[in-house]
Structure 1
């Protein structure tokens, strides 16, 4: 993936019922996570589906002696990996080439290069605008102005309410 465009509804917010983002198939996500991780010789320690205010699946996995989080956006097939001890305010993203290779046929695995791109907000004629390439709706822009995420990763994987 060369460039990430922030898609409408990726944050979980939308400005009208007709503008609601698509959702991933929960059964398929669970099946993929368990079968791919176990097929690799790993173990799923905990499987959390998106639940308000979290807009992503959070799967804690163990690979050999390493424990980490597999994150998957609820609305679009964007996946990332994080260290085992992150907080809601500070997800520490990591690259995990072995998992990326395993999941990339099914999901868009985002590298830290994409996830750590700073978000750039500007005020133009009294209106807040996100400069990063995006297709976000007005409700999302309002949430970004309120929560002030620092980078793409903290927008794609968030705990906003």
Structure 2
């Protein structure tokens, strides 16, 4: 059973203690360092509305292979998907972290693997979620931990 940390939905209510925000500057800095180390390029994708729980970055190798990174806006975690998210569409399939992704861990970000993100929510421990998060989960009904964490709920 996987524990889903408080703040995983990106929501909190007026009576809840605020959750910390992920250090997106540190994330960008780490991504730039990775791109330089593999002689690649980095592009940030504009957020998909104010309610998005994540930011999207593309790192492209000199050989044209693009890796899509999702950085959670509250928790210091990173996931990888097959293609850039599209507004109004479900997230693309999660993929394993590439070999160079360890550089993100050195900078304080935990890499999420496909098994954890694909875990059915019914099998996960969501006991740490705040009441406002549980309300969102009940309304949006995500099927997996990945759908709960990387969402565009409003």
CA shift, 1:23, in A, is 0.5
Give the alignment's TM-score, normalised by structure 1: 0.81
Which 4+ runs in 1 deviate beyond 4 A?
Answer: none
Instruction: Provide structure 2 residue ranges, at least 5 long, that are not aligned to the other structure.
Output: none
Name the structure 2 match of 1:105: 106
Distance 2:15 2:22 in 1: 18
For 1:154, the equivalent position in structure 2 comes to 147
Q: Is the 8 A contact 2:27 2:104 kept in 1?
A: no
Larger strand percent: 1
Q: Residue 12 of structure 1 aligns with which residue?
A: 10
TM-score by length of 2: 0.84
Mapped to 2, the partners of 1:55 and 1:14 lie a distance apart of 12
How many residues in Structure 1 have an aligned counterpart in Structure 2?
149
**Alpha-carbon separation, structure 2, partners of 1:12 and 1:86:** 18
Across the aligned residues of Structure 1 and Structure 2, the Cα RMSD in angstroms comes to: 2.1
Unaligned runs of 5+ in 1: 121-130
Q: Which has the higher contact order (CA 8 A, sep 6+)?
A: 2
Identify the residue that residue 95 of structure 2 maps to in structure 1. Answer: 94
Bigger shift: residues 34-43 or 75-84: 34-43
1:57, 1:74 within 8 Å by CA — same for their partners in 2? yes
Partner of 2:83: 84
8 Å contact 2:117–2:144 — kept in the other structure? yes
Q: Quote the residue 2:51 is aligned against.
A: 53
